[in-house]
Amino acid sequence: MRVCFAEPIPAVFESIRGLDAAVTAHLDGHPLLAADLIRAADRPEILAWADTMWGTGGPWSGPRSTPDIPAANRLKPRMPSTAAKLAIIRRDGFTCRFCGAPVILPDARKALMRHYPEAARWGLTNASRHAALQVLELQWDHVLPHARGGSSDPSNVLVTCAPCNYGRGQLTCEEVGLSDPWLRPPVKSDWDGLSRLLKQAVVNV
């Protein structure tokens, strides 16, 4: 069984290094350099990589109809609480538990958009959004999908990138031929998901 649909391409890591340098430049008071670095990190091949997973021609373009339980019977809350998100980040860090791609804290992405609306572009379509900020935004992935009865507790939710989350949809890992992610320990690294851009760091999940 595979651990993920598609290994991250080198552009994923190159863009993350660029965005990391952009945040450093921003915090050091160099906004023009930061904007240049953000633009350079907007690599179209990252969206093409994601499209192989979440697009209609992706590795799981087969039947997506599942025996979902009625919406009224699904567990609440739909998404993890703030306390649960903090516990999940402390456990998983800012690395996709499936493919190993570094991911970006959503509030850090929003802060970059506020400071650099042109460079950190965010249009209405996938193609008009900054590829790395879009594809590598941290997702709260329900291992047993919520629509199949999964809870939003840390015991059922992992940090993932967007294509690993959306590529699986409402299907279980077993149904799409992925090995059980709980059997692999989280990757330890000092990547901060750009959280240092936020005053309260990871408190703002």
Residues that bind Zn ion (CB under 5 A): 96, 98-99, 101, 161, 164
Terminal Cα-to-Cα distance of the chain (whole angstroms): 32
Residue placing its CB nearer to Zn ion in the complex, 34 or 135: 135
Cβ 98 to Zn ion shortest distance, Å: 5
Cβ 192 to Zn ion shortest distance, Å: 18
Helices (H), ranges, the chain: 10-27, 31-40, 44-54, 82-92, 106-115, 131-135, 162-168
Residue placing its CB nearer to Zn ion in the complex, 8 or 25: 8
Cβ 186 to Zn ion shortest distance, Å: 13
Residue with tokens 């992706």, as numbered in its chain = 58
Kindly state the tokens that stand for 107: 């509030």
**Cα–Cα distance measured from residue 137 to residue 94, given in angstroms and rounded to the nearest whole number:** 10
Per the CB < 8 A criterion, the answer to whether 140 and 96 are in contact is no
| Helices 10-27 and 44-54: angle between axes, nearest 10 degrees | 130
Cβ 158 to Zn ion shortest distance, Å: 10
| Helices 31-40 and 10-27: angle between axes, nearest 10 degrees | 170
Fill in the DSSP letter of residue 93: T
Diameter of the chain by CA atoms? 53
Residue placing its CB nearer to Zn ion in the complex, 9 or 75: 9
Residue with tokens 């959306």, as numbered in its chain = 166
Residue placing its CB nearer to Zn ion in the complex, 23 or 101: 101
Kindly state the tokens that stand for 172: 């279980």
Cβ 156 to Zn ion shortest distance, Å: 17
Cβ 28 to Zn ion shortest distance, Å: 30
Residue placing its CB nearer to Zn ion in the complex, 99 or 111: 99
Residue placing its CB nearer to Zn ion in the complex, 100 or 154: 100
